[in-house]
Chains A and B, each alone.
Chain A
Amino acid sequence: MSAGGIGGYIEHHLKNNTLELVEGSTFWTVNIDSVIYTLITAVVFLGFFGYVAKNVKSGVPSKAQNFIELIINFVNEQVNDLFHYKSKVVAPLALSIFVWVFLMNFMDMIPVDLLPWVGSQAGIHQMRVVPSTDLNITFGMSFAVILLVMYYNFTKKGPTGYFKEYFGHPFEASNPVAKIGLALPNMLLNTVETIAKPVSLGLRLFGNLYAGELIFMLIAVFTLGYGLEQLMSFGGIVMMIAQFLLGLMWALFHILIITLQAFIFMMLSVVYLAQSHDTGH
């Protein structure tokens, strides 16, 4: 299967299928597999939800509508708990993050070698299936959220309000001298916070999913390179059973992780957006 043994197998699976837009440039390259799988999951999400929205009934709902209303109701409750301002953006944003990230994460539940094998049959020899194990994808979303947070910081608090908050918070003082003295540490803290928000948001999702994918690969390695004769030997059968049990256990546990990570990404985004609307400081 792979030439480089266990190390080569894993390395092969962690490499994206890239397209260089500018020759020799690391930035101007695109991870085609990540982009395609995010688009597929986006189409699945928008297609299913859009289909139901198109056939929506306020009377007795269909089963599909019932299911989607369950999700929307859940998201709406979470958003209403955290976000107490009027906004047309935040709740739909939370919904798309939750469902879309969940679908991206769900690609992890598909056997690690299945889609790459299908791809190799079609002549594509390099493929990463789970978009949320690509730092570009998770950072893309977290940066987009933070850009939105910054936009609201400016529009809701006004440039002066945001400026005041940036230099007058979290250490607050009433006399002007102390205010000036605290401006620098305040600014430093806020800068760290502003940078830490998108980085931690993106890294958390990436880290969890990357680790999960890696464990699936390590389980897959159990019988890597076994021929039929080796599989049918005593050791091979033991390895197969161990592989099956471990894979099953990790998959079951991973269902929890992928849902939880999608949920956390959604909740933190809503929290950050709520902070940007909060003019109370």
Chain B
Amino acid sequence: MSINFTLIIQMLVFLVVVLITMKYIWPVILGAMEEREKQIADGLAASDEAEIALKKAQAEAEEILNEARTDAGEVREGANKMATKIKDQAKADAIAEKERQMAAAVAEIEQEANRAKEDLRKQVSTLALAGAEKLLNKEVDSKVHADLLDDLVKEI
């Protein structure tokens, strides 16, 4: 139970143990722990950043979508306007065409009527000539009476 040389040995062993712990154990493990701590902190920061970026991207997407929507509206409106314009134009064209055709028809009808009148007149003169021949029993020299007949035709 007395103090002896064991004490000195234990002091030396103790110093060696502490030195080994100091050199090869403590810094290594604590370093790994601190590195992990840093990794976790970095990871959390990165996830925060990513969240912010995501929100930004979502807002951007929303903006682009809105823009596209307004663009599409504008395009539709323009198309509608154009369609109305084309329709109006077509209507106006059709009306003009109709009037033109109607005018042409009226002119033709008039022409036809005039021609019929002329024919009629000619037939009347022929009839009158024939009537006169029967009446006089002789041939009327159409050449001689041409002036007369023309006058008659004009009168009818």
What DSSP secondary structure best describes chain B's contact surface? helix
Question: Complex Cα distance A75/B25, Å?
Answer: 13
A64-82 Cβ-contact flags toward B at 8 Å (1 or 0): 0100110011001000000
Contact A42 B18 (CB under 8 A): no
Q: Which residues of the other chain, B, contact A53 by a CB distance below 8 angstroms?
A: 24-25, 28-29
Beta-carbon contact of B39 and A58 below 8 Å: yes
A-side residues, CB < 8 A to B, are 14, 18, 21, 26-31, 34-35, 38-39, 42, 45-46, 49-50, 52-54, 56-59, 61, 65, 68-69, 72-73, 76, 88-89, 91-93, 95-96, 100, 134-137, 139-141, 143-144, 147
Which DSSP category, helix, strand, loop or mixed, fits chain A's interface?
helix
B residues lining the A interface (CB < 8 Å): 1-11, 13-15, 17-18, 20-22, 24-30, 32-33, 35-36, 39
Q: In whole Å, how far is A192's beta carbon from the nearest beta carbon of chain B?
A: 20
Cβ of A39: which chain B residues have Cβ within 8 Å of it?
Answer: 13
Q: Closest CB-CB distance, B57 to chain A, in whole Å?
A: 30
In the complex, A134→B25 CA distance in Å? 27
In whole angstroms, how far apart are the Cα atoms of A46 and B33 in the complex?
19
With A72-B26, A140-B14 in contact, is A30–B33 under 8 Å at CB?
no
Known A56-B32, A140-B8: A26·B22 in contact at CB below 8 Å: no
Q: List 29 A-B contacts (CB under 8 A).
A: A26-B2, A29-B4, A30-B5, A35-B9, A46-B21, A49-B25, A50-B25, A53-B25, A58-B33, A59-B39, A65-B29, A69-B29, A76-B30, A91-B26, A92-B21, A92-B22, A92-B25, A92-B27, A93-B21, A93-B22, A96-B14, A96-B18, A100-B17, A136-B6, A136-B10, A139-B10, A140-B6, A140-B11, A144-B14
Cβ-defined contact, B22 with A144, below 8 A? no
Question: Contact at B3–A42, with CB atoms within 8 Å?
Answer: no
Contact A137 B32 (CB under 8 A): no
Chain A residues contacting B39 (CB-CB under 8 Å) are: 58-59
- The chain B residue sitting closest to A93, CB to CB, is B18
Q: How far is the CA of A27 from the CA of B6 in the complex (A)?
A: 9
Residues of A contacting B3 in the complex (Cβ-Cβ under 8 angstroms): 27, 135-136, 139
- Measured between C-beta atoms, what is the minimum distance from B117 to chain A in Å? 116
Residues on B with C-beta less than 8 A from A144 are 10-11, 14-15
Residues of B within 8 A of A69 (CB): 29, 33
State which of A29, A50, A91, A141 has its C-beta within 8 Å of the C-beta of B10: A141
Q: Is the CB of A28 within 8 A of B25?
A: no
- With a cutoff of 8 Å between Cβ atoms, the chain B residues found around residue A14 in the complex are 1
How long is the Cα–Cα vector from A76 to B8 in the complex, in angstroms?
29
